[in-house]
Amino acid sequence: MAVTLKDDFAERARLEARLLARRRGGAALPLLDRPSGAEWHFAASLGQEGMWPSLATTARQPLIVGGLRVSGPLDTGALREAWQALAERHETLRSAYRTVDGTLTQVVPVRARPVMEVALADPAAAASVADDELARPFDFGRGPVARLRVLRRASGEHLVVVCLHHLVGDARALEVVTTELTALYAGAVTGSPVELPELPAQYADFAAWHRARVEGEHGGRTIAYWLDRLAGAEPAALPCDGSQDPSDVAGRTRSFPLPPELFARLREVAARHRTTFYVVGLAAFQILLARWSGERDICVRAPVSYRDRSDVHGLVGDFSNDVVVRADLSGHVTLAEAVEQVRASTADDFAHHDVPPHVVASRMADPTLLERLFHVQFTAEREHDLGAARQLGPLRAEPFSPTAETVARPLSVRLRHDDHGGRVIVAHRSGLFSDERVRALQRDYFALFEEIAAYPGRPAVS
């Protein structure tokens, strides 16, 4: 799968967690020793450990792909210099990953050897960038698992494509790379010094701190929370239009704009409940799933992030995680009560987002349950102004987010918004859900927004 530039920001994890004042600004991350030598060996993060077993059997690797569309004569020598400087700044951009004595290990060469390729491209290259990158695997043992590709077009335009393996990046990491690369390129072209913020730590430092936290008392309490929270949970049986092998990730992504009047009503609902668009959108989605499936116990995967520490916000690495948000819509719960229930439970769930799913799953009676609960996903975040043009030295550059015809989960719904409007993005496995089914989902979802706004006292599920 490919994750686009706008995917999966940490905002959604912080929305409700802020209510509990759980930002861990406090003490700085302890730094690991980096002795003299040709390379350093660090234990991989828990998240990387959880991802590693599936990489050997996954035909389509999880990649983070984005880039810039540049107009004008690009100086590839200056770009190579900027990419080199970026790899020297962020250890993850020059690392390899090997199993050493049974332990997944991040191998960091002291000297960076970043990969940058320059090639001619046909006019339609932008449309196939993500699929092209998915077809080009990384060599984990040799590294690095990040690359920069420059596609020259006959028109004089260039596509600068950044590709990070999910082992070393999330959507925020892609934004960091793109932003810092443009600054370093400008410095290389003009010869001016570039003042980037000093990095307080590296990803390996966070990984060691996080492992100690999860393996200590805090992790024990968090695991106990999830074992209790997920007791008796089962995936909802959604109506499907066909079957699809779990290893087949072919799918489609569609975007549906929210009508302005409906967007305004959603703002009123969020204000009425003193909550966020995230909670209103999630509650509506869980009610919709209950109505579609005929079930009342609804579990949904919610992506969250470990970037709730200020000292990791500017690091390149994978800080993503997932939790299950569970709603009990049994009895005579009204629409308004369902929103309140989701508001409270989501805050608690996000407050316990520290432990990776594979660690929780290893303690469950059925270790496969958590992955099955993750088949349906919801997320919501504010639109960030990542599509605005920026300067690449003297050149104009516009970010672009290539998409691939693959999806990570059988069904996911994303609610994106700013102060003026919003849209609902539905990604689905094409063998499971037809286009007609997705359009019906969109219609029912929008109708449910109207119902929650106009008739809060109605039963959530008849």
**Can you spell out the DSSP letters for 398-409?**
EEE----SB-SS
Rounded CA-CA distance 86/50 in Å is: 27
Rounded CA-CA distance 339/282 in Å is: 9
| Residue 193 amino acid letter | P
pLDDT of 41 reads 96
pLDDT by residue for the chain (462 residues), tens only, comes to: 443 333 333 333 334 334 333 444 457 899 999 998 889 999 999 999 999 999 987 767 899 998 898 988 999 999 999 999 999 999 999 999 999 999 999 999 999 899 999 988 765 666 677 678 877 889 999 999 999 999 888 777 888 999 999 999 999 999 999 999 999 999 999 999 999 999 999 999 999 999 999 999 999 999 999 999 999 999 988 899 998 887 788 899 999 999 999 999 999 999 999 999 999 999 999 999 999 999 999 999 999 999 988 899 999 999 999 999 999 999 999 999 999 999 999 999 999 999 999 999 999 999 999 999 999 999 998 876 545 557 778 888 888 877 777 788 999 999 998 888 899 999 999 999 999 999 999 999 999 999 999 999 999 998
Which domains are assigned to the chain?
A: 2-201 (3.30.559.10), 233-384+403-454 (3.30.559.30)
Please give the angle made by the CA atoms of 226, 228 and 231, to the nearest 5 degrees.
100
At 250 the three-state DSSP class reads strand
Rounded CA-CA distance 227/297 in Å is: 16
Task: Single out the residue of 132, 170, 139 nearest to residue 406, CA to CA.
Answer: 132
Spatial neighbors of 76 by CB under 8 A, at least 6 apart, are: 118, 150
Its pTM stands at 0.89
Please give the angle made by the CA atoms of 216, 220 and 222, to the nearest 5 degrees.
115
Q: For residues 413 and 422, is the Cβ–Cβ distance under 8 A?
A: no
Task: Single out the residue of 343, 311, 358, 342 nearest to residue 202, CA to CA.
Answer: 311
Rounded CA-CA distance 140/92 in Å is: 12
pLDDT of 5 reads 34
| Residue 45 amino acid letter | S
Rounded CA-CA distance 359/301 in Å is: 16
pLDDT of 394 reads 81
Long-range contacts of 366-374 (CB under 8 A, 24+ apart): 369/230, 369/233, 369/234, 370/230, 370/324, 372/235, 373/230, 373/233, 373/235, 373/299, 373/301, 373/324, 374/301, 374/322, 374/324, 374/409
Chain-centroid distance of CA 123 in Å reads: 29
Give the side-chain half-sphere CA count within 13 A for 457.
Answer: 0
pLDDT of 288 reads 98
pLDDT of 302 reads 97
